[in-house]
Amino acid sequence: MTDSTEYTPPKIWTWEKGNGGRFANINRPIAGPTHEKVLPIGQHPLQLYSLATPNGVKVTVMLEELLALGIKDAEYDAYPIRISDGDQFSSGFVEVNPNSKIPALMDRSTTPPTRVFESGSILLYLAEKFGAFLPKDHAKRTECMNWLFWQMGSAPYLGGGFGHFYAYAPVKIQYCIDRFAMETKRQLDVLDRHLADKTFMTGDEYTIADIAIWAWYGQLVLGRQYNAAEFLQVESYTHVMRWAKLIDARPAVLRGRKVNKVIGDLDMQLHERHDASDFDTKTQDKLQAAKPA
Ligand SMILES: N[C@@H](CCC(=O)N[C@@H](CS)C(=O)NCC(=O)O)C(=O)O
């Protein structure tokens, strides 16, 4: 790895395997599948292929919230896609998402089945399909869309920019960390000012904009992202903190955080989810305790 200050870009960029830092084994400059593999299909109409990253958790929280409303047709099977093992490059996954990123959803209740990718698109699809967490009033719906699209456009600066250079890059480059810490703090201030006189992002109603923004910025201020709470002084964003805690306390949010989680505390890891009862019987702590010694 060359020190950034010494690097002069060549005339033509070439791919050196290993130049992706912590993600060197999965980063590639080309799209498409690397291997043939079909995806598993469970019994429910909705099939989710995902992982409990902030983008993945948006969708599992949404599905658990829909089920908490009593919407039985939102039942789903969720399969983990282990992105560090390259599962997102299987032929089956690429058919559902040509962009090879989690989350990806197949709705098999339609003929033909509908593929849905991009977490924002999945949230909107589910909100429209089930008529929930999306304001009916046009002006309020527009405000909800404003914030949903804000999240989709802003989080790459937090994750791909700040998170990458602060936590994952093999060298600490002050220029990059300064640039993206500044932008992340600016975004937190945008949210803090907006939430100063509102319970949720669009006012009194909890919507898909809250789900999307909480997954990234809520979890950041709650100290779950990049070990950066002190560095970014997240406690100072008091309105964001109050809103993040309010959402975090919802039972459906806790369940959504567990689905397709394959690292961390064992009681938080539900690798596959096929039924509501799986939360009581199939988290990793339960499965490991049930194993014969
Ligand atoms: N804009 C996409 C981003 C999805 C995304 O970046 N997913 C990451 C995990 S959070 C991923 O699958 N990475 C695998 C890879 O880059 O190969 C969305 O919101 O769905």
How confident is the model over 227-266, as pLDDT tens digits?
Answer: 999 999 999 999 999 999 999 999 999 999 999 999 999 9
Mean pLDDT of 18-36: 84
Of residues 25 and 112, the one with the higher pLDDT is 112
Atom of ligand 1 nearest to the CA of 160: 6
Q: Is residue 114 part of a domain?
A: no
Cα–Cα distance, 50 to 261 (Å, whole number)? 9
Q: Which pLDDT score, from 0 to 100, does residue 143 have? A: 98
Q: Which pLDDT score, from 0 to 100, does residue 6 have? A: 80
Of residues 219 and 4, the one with the higher pLDDT is 219
The pair of three-digit structure tokens given for residue 184, joined into one six-digit string? 């992340």
Q: Which pLDDT score, from 0 to 100, does residue 212 have? A: 99
β-pairing, 46-50 with 104-107?
antiparallel
Please tell me whether the peptide bond between 103 and the residue prior to it is cis, using omega within 30 degrees of 0: yes
- Closest residue (by CA) to atom 5 of ligand 1? 101
Q: Which pLDDT score, from 0 to 100, does residue 185 have? A: 98
Q: What's the chain's average pLDDT?
A: 96
The pair of three-digit structure tokens given for residue 216, joined into one six-digit string? 């990234």
- Closest residue (by CA) to atom 6 of ligand 1? 101
Spacing, Cα 28 to ligand 1 middle (Å): 14
pLDDT surpassing 50 at residue 1: no
Spacing, Cα 197 to ligand 1 middle (Å): 32
Please tell me whether the peptide bond between 10 and the residue prior to it is cis, using omega within 30 degrees of 0: no
- Closest residue (by CA) to atom 16 of ligand 1? 101
- Closest residue (by CA) to atom 15 of ligand 1? 101
Spacing, Cα 55 to ligand 1 middle (Å): 7
Spacing, Cα 103 to ligand 1 middle (Å): 7
Q: Is residue 130 part of a domain?
A: no
Number of domains in the chain: 1
Cα–Cα distance, 158 to 164 (Å, whole number)? 8
Of residues 103 and 21, the one with the higher pLDDT is 103
Q: Is residue 175 part of a domain?
A: yes
Q: Which pLDDT score, from 0 to 100, does residue 5 have? A: 64
Q: State which residues form the domain around 228.
A: 138-254
Closest CA to 176 of 8, 14, 3, 1: 3
Spacing, Cα 54 to ligand 1 middle (Å): 9
Q: Percent of the chain beyond pLDDT 70?
A: 97
Q: Percent of the chain beyond pLDDT 90?
A: 92
Atom of ligand 1 nearest to the CA of 101: 12
Q: Which pLDDT score, from 0 to 100, does residue 25 have? A: 76
Q: Which pLDDT score, from 0 to 100, does residue 26 have? A: 85
Q: Confirm if 161 and 185 have CB atoms less than 8 A apart.
A: no
Q: Which pLDDT score, from 0 to 100, does residue 4 have? A: 53
pLDDT surpassing 70 at residue 158: yes
Segment 173-187, tens digit of pLDDT = 999 999 999 999 999
Cα–Cα distance, 123 to 134 (Å, whole number)? 10
Spacing, Cα 119 to ligand 1 middle (Å): 9
Q: Which pLDDT score, from 0 to 100, does residue 24 have? A: 73
- Closest residue (by CA) to atom 14 of ligand 1? 101
Q: Is residue 48 part of a domain?
A: no
The pair of three-digit structure tokens given for residue 27, joined into one six-digit string? 């980063």
Q: Is residue 84 part of a domain?
A: no
Beta partners for residue 259, in sequence order: 270
Mean pLDDT of 135-158: 98
Segment 190-241, tens digit of pLDDT = 999 999 999 999 999 999 999 999 999 999 999 999 999 999 999 999 999 9
Residues with CB under 6 A from ligand 1: 26, 53, 55, 83, 88, 100-103, 118-119
Cα–Cα distance, 64 to 188 (Å, whole number)? 27
Q: Is residue 231 part of a domain?
A: yes
Q: Is residue 236 part of a domain?
A: yes
Atom of ligand 1 nearest to the CA of 117: 20
pLDDT surpassing 60 at residue 45: yes
Spacing, Cα 99 to ligand 1 middle (Å): 8
Spacing, Cα 63 to ligand 1 middle (Å): 19
Q: Which pLDDT score, from 0 to 100, does residue 148 have? A: 98
Verdict on whether the full-model pTM lies above 0.85? yes
- Closest residue (by CA) to atom 12 of ligand 1? 101
Segment 67-81, tens digit of pLDDT = 999 999 999 999 999
Q: Is residue 199 part of a domain?
A: yes
Query: In CATH, what number is assigned to the domain containing residue 193?
Result: 1.20.1050.10
Atom of ligand 1 nearest to the CA of 54: 10
Of residues 52 and 7, the one with the higher pLDDT is 52
